[in-house]
Amino acid sequence: MKRLHLRDALCACVLLFVFSHTTFAATVQYQYTGNVFDTNDPADPLCVIGATGCFSNITATVELPTVLAANLILGNPVVWNSWSISDGLTTIDDQTPGFNYSLSFGTNASGNITGWSFGVSAVTQALDQLSSMRTTTSIDDTRYCATFDTSTSSCTANAIAEANTAGSWAPPTTVPIPATVWLFGSGLLGLIGLSRRRQTKTLPAPR
């Protein structure tokens, strides 16, 4: 009986440690809001700047395991949990197939963002489809394939919208652990308790 209680206690401790210190730990989210595009290619095949449902400005969200470290050098990649970037018309995230990405931050001694480069580019091109989207310390832009060469399966010209002044990153916020995770952990602990009770009932009576 004592051995059974000790085993259950050890299992409970292990579960609590896992749920508190591994992939379910709270993460940190950085959000970027760019300025409204101030220039665009008049031959854009998709829409006119400012029209409802069209691209407007770059916004981005990056979720990291921890806050950015101090004195990061722009150009070095960062470890991320998830990310997304949008121009108001198209949204690309880390689960979207067919795109390459680049993500880098520069920080000062206080860990504040002083520079960044975040963008995606299509692996294959298609008419009227997104070619690339990016935000940097100095410019935001989004490009769509305006003319397409079917013989080479490549874009021969891009329609471009740009913001010539960079936006800003909001202070990081903590992403709480989902309640479902804690419910799952509580359920596992409950199953352990139920299993112990059943095993206790099956023990033979002392003679």
pLDDT tens-place string over residues 156-194: 988 888 999 999 999 999 988 664 444 444 554 555 555
Residue type, 200: T
- Judging by beta carbons within 10 Å of its beta carbon (0-12, 13-18, 19+), is residue 145 exposed, middle or buried? buried
Residuewise pLDDT in 10s, the chain (207 residues): 444 455 555 555 444 444 444 445 689 999 999 999 887 765 455 666 556 667 889 999 999 999 999 999 999 999 999 999 999 889 999 999 999 999 999 999 999 999 999 999 999 989 889 999 999 999 999 999 988 999 988 899 888 889 999 999 999 999 886 644 444 445 545 555 555 555 555 545 555
Residue 18: CB atoms within 10 Å = 13
Q: Where are the domains of the chain?
A: 1-25+178-207, 27-176
Q: Are 58 and 135 in contact (CB under 8 A)?
A: yes
- For residue 33, the SS3 value is strand
pLDDT tens-place string over residues 134-153: 999 999 999 999 889 999 88
Residue 87: CB atoms within 10 Å = 25
pTM given for the model: 0.73
pLDDT at res. 181: 44
List CB contacts of 114: < 8 A, sequence separation 6 or more.
74, 106, 107, 108, 137
- Token pair, residue 192, equals 């352990």
Q: DSSP strand E in the chain: where?
A: 27-33, 39-40, 59-64, 82-86, 91-93, 99-107, 113-122, 130-136, 140-149, 154-163, 168-169, 173-175
Phi-psi region of 160 (alpha: psi -120 to 50; beta: other; left: phi over 0): beta
| CA–CA distances in Å: residue 185 to residues 19, 24, 152, 180, 188 | 7, 11, 54, 9, 5
